[in-house]
Amino acid sequence: MPKIIGWLLGCRRFRPSIALDFIHHRGNNAVAASKGLSTLCDAIQEEAPKENLVSDMLVDSFGRLHTYLRISLTERCNLRCQYCMPAEGVELTPNPRLLSQDEIVRVANLFVSSGVTKIRLTGGEPTIRKDVEEICCRLSNLPGLKTLAMTTNGIILANKLPRLKECGLGSINISLDTLVPAKFEFMTRRKGHERVLKSIDTAIELGYNPVKVNCVVMRGFNDDEICDFVQLTREKPINIRFIEFMPFDGNIWNVKKLVPYAEMLDTVVKNFPKLERIVDAPTETAKNFRVDDHQGTVSFITSMTEHFCAGCNRLRLLADGNFKVCLFGPSEVSLRDPLRCGATNDELKHIIGAAVKKKKKAHAGMFDLASTPNRPMIHIGG
């Protein structure tokens, strides 16, 4: 560790405070042509993936092994969802301070070679990044990576998804909070409801199974549509995921808007008495159910009323290169700065490992979270 501190102090781009405390509190490639992308993918795929040994870097002080990395590709978005950013918008990080494609791939490879088996691409809106196909191609072929997923708002996904699938995108989550076009426009401050529905159908046609649909439930806005969303699972391989409304900077969180898991579940059971519980994986964030004779499934993400911190295996790399070990924690450490100062992989691993070791046993309660400074969701990545 003294070596790392000495190295950080010797880097002109580092402030001394960062060198003394790795986890600080927050106070370009051009897109390749289709032919070039195909050549790149074919070349990379010649090398068969192998299993990687798990590094201590990914184990926190409570013994939790982190094998899932969420990477935000951009802070920009083509919607303005009310629970994601304030009405006046947010200040975006200048492009030169965002991670380049090569930097993303280098850091991702460092995690995968240390034992990460799943990467999810987020934003902002990841599909608006011009080199998203090439990033998918390079990441999906990292030796040892088992799953490359993406969370998207679906606005421009339909046209891009066939190519993204060819580039190795194996799982898709599409955000949709209402089935009513007028309410969609009110919530997102933009049009595009039909395009999101088209993206869901396109994903199904391309063989994604399940197609996960994320729905943030808010009292007085869409809590009356819960059963309508469940009906989507009757004929289609959709996993509808009801998410409790969570507090982030600028989204005007109020407990009165929160519809707790128990209430949502009661609503579903009353209308679908054949709802059955599915056994969850130890690191699963959702509580999963199936309605008898439905093709799809129903899930609840209960971050506020029944947290799942004990089994958390997730880490986050933000678009600006900051590394975050907990969605709700304000602590972050920059990987971009040491990366651009010439850090070796071992030096980066020391920084990552130190951050992971400081991860808390559980996040604070929802009322404490509401008063704790944290970035807007558009900055963190969905």
> 363 falls in which pLDDT band (50, 70, 90)?
low
Q: Among 123, 132, 117, 121, which residue's Cα sits nearest to residue 93?
A: 123
| Length of the chain as a residue count | 382
Q: Output the pLDDT for position 52.
A: 78
Question: What pTM value is reported for the model?
Answer: 0.84
> 80 falls in which pLDDT band (50, 70, 90)?
confident
Q: Output the pLDDT for position 376.
A: 56
Q: What is the pLDDT of residues 180-224, one digit of tens each?
A: 999 999 888 889 999 999 999 999 999 999 999 999 999 999 999
Q: Output the pLDDT for position 27.
A: 40
CA dist 36 and 226 (Å) reads 45
Q: Output the pLDDT for position 114.
A: 97
- Sequence-distant (6+) residues with CB within 8 A of 201 are none
> 38 falls in which pLDDT band (50, 70, 90)?
low
Two tokens, residue 379: 């900055």
Mean pLDDT confidence for 100-128:
97
Query: Quick check: 290 and 275 in contact, CB under 8 A?
Result: yes
> 92 falls in which pLDDT band (50, 70, 90)?
confident
Q: Over 50: is that where the pLDDT of 302 sits?
A: yes
Q: What is the pLDDT of residues 233-260, one digit of tens each?
A: 999 999 999 999 865 444 454 678 899 9
CA 45 to chain centre: 25
Q: Output the pLDDT for position 330.
A: 77
Residue 241 — φ and ψ, nearest 5°?
-120, 105
Q: Output the pLDDT for position 377.
A: 53
For residue 273, the tally of other CB atoms under 10 A from its CB is 9
Q: Which of 17-26, 179-188, 275-284, 324-333 has the lowest mean pLDDT?
A: 17-26
Using the 8-state DSSP alphabet, how is residue 7 labeled? H
